[in-house]
């Protein structure tokens, strides 16, 4: 299955944390097919924390969405992520954004990501690598969702 994953970090060596997470994805058997540029992004929800470095990657994996979620949570834990305050600072954050046209709504897993269409820190990098991907619930392309986004937080490409 093809997945689009969001990777973010705002504690410690942000770029290094993201790079280590990408390496772990590969170690877990995921083939990274495409990657966005890195973006420095303003925190959403809690402004009293450092800015994030975010990226979206497209991976191919034989894992089911539930197996992938378990794998991502394991990587986060191994890298030192501590569950604390909602939208708070974190060493690494790994989110399943899209899984082709799959729609899952359970207590433990929601695909597509429930706030995907509201957050430029994932819409901008996702639009870079998959502008024509269609949100399977909203039936709009990522490009369209970005164009209509009401999110005004800053998302700056790192050159």
Enzyme catalytic residues:
81, 90, 93, 95
How far CA 23 is from CA of 29, 38, 87, 118, in Å, comes to 10, 16, 24, 28
Angle at 27 between CA 94 and CA 74, to 5 degrees: 40
Quick check: 133 and 98 in contact, CB under 8 A? Answer: yes
Alpha carbons 147 and 76: distance in angstroms, whole number: 31
Count Cα atoms within 13 angstroms, Cβ side, for 21. Answer: 33
Query: Tokens 């034989």 map to which residue?
Result: 62
For residue 102, how many other CB atoms are within 10 A of its CB? Answer: 14
115: which 2 tokens? Answer: 């706030």
């Amino acid at each position: 299955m093809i997945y689009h994953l969001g990777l973010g970090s705002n504690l410690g060596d942000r770029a290094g944390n993201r790079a280590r997470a990408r390496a772990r994805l590969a170690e877990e058997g995921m083939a990274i097919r495409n990657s966005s540029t890195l973006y420095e992004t303003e925190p959403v929800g809690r402004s009293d924390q450092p800015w994030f470095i975010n990226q979206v990657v497209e991976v191919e994996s034989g894992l089911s969405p539930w197996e992938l979620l378990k794998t991502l949570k394991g990587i986060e834990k191994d890298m030192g992520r501590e569950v604390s305050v909602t939208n708070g600072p974190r060493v690494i954050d790994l989110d399943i954004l899209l899984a082709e046209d799959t729609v899952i709504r359970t207590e433990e897993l929601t695909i597509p990501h429930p706030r995907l269409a509201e957050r430029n820190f994932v819409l901008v990098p996702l639009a870079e690598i998959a502008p024509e991907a269609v949100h399977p619930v909203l039936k709009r392309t990522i490009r369209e969702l970005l164009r209509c986004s009401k999110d005004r937080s800053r998302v700056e490409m790192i050159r």
